Structure 1
Amino acid sequence: MDTAFYGRSNRVYSPRRSTKDGFTLVELLVVIAIIGVMVGLLLPAVQAAREAARRMSCSNNLKQFGIALHNYHDTFLRFPPRQGGTGWQNDFTNGMNGGANMLILGFLEQTALYEQFKNPLTHNGVTFQPWGPIPSSHANTYPPFGVQVPTFVCPSSLPSSAPGWNCYTNYG
């Protein structure tokens, strides 16, 4: 029995098609290879754009740092000391020994962190005096020393693990 039939155009239609639908394996592999080449060309461009954005962020951080230094100068009529650290005396003059990074925190929208340095702080049963002194046995557990201020770190640099006696910054 013949299953062919005639349509309106007098063509013979058969349930068996002579043409194949879909892609061959070779066509599929060619398309995948083309997509792979395009991704391979696009990846370096994306990485370059990301690095440019990180450099721009780093430049913006330095600008914010400079503006904070000038705002400190406008407020106190002097720049903060270029280096320093809290001494072993336990009075207000100890705060004058803080380094620039500590003293400009209030001008970098880090007022809460600045207040931790400025006011007495009790942490894990140890009381830390305003501006120090920090007992040497607790220097690594003093909470403000463990805070990483985003403005002090360039996004392009490798992350720092623990501050120790240093602070989380890589701008020098």
Structure 2
Amino acid sequence: MAKPAKLIVVSDSHGNRDGLRAVLDAHRDADALIFLGDGLNDLTAVQRSGPCPMVYEVRGNCDYDKTIPSERLVSLGGLLIFMTHGNGYEVKVTTTPLRKAAAQRGADIVLFGHTHSPYYAYIDGVNLFNPGSISVPRVGRPTYGLLLIEDGEPEFLHREVPR
């Protein structure tokens, strides 16, 4: 039986380093931080400023470091997770291309950003999760996500960024 995993899921910081640090400080017990792009400079600065768990990051459309991949496929907690910012998959209009990409990769979970809106759906055997934006939400307060995995079962939570 695998140890339960607690993963912080963040996207679209767009300069909000204080918000990113507040999220990390609120979850010092997290196993990993998944950063879904548009703020890689913020991530680097926050990593230098204090404790940070293992990081899995992808590049967003506003990030320019081409050494960071735009997509990743990782196995965490016994589940295969496809990570992308989402801008290459028309996510502001539909999730169909993203779901197809996940199916082609055999992913159980797709994590994506770009829309600045929290989202969760379970469609055709794939969990799709967008944490929203920790900086510039389309509606409401800035948000992030938690992905809890226990015995291969995921739980997805949206949370407001601590003030």
| Higher helix fraction (1 or 2) | 1
TM-score normalised over the length of structure 1: 0.25
| Higher strand fraction (1 or 2) | 2
- Which structure has more relative contact order (CA 8 Å, sep 6+)? It is 2
TM-score normalised over the length of structure 2: 0.26
Task: Tell me which structure has the larger Cα radius of gyration.
Answer: 1
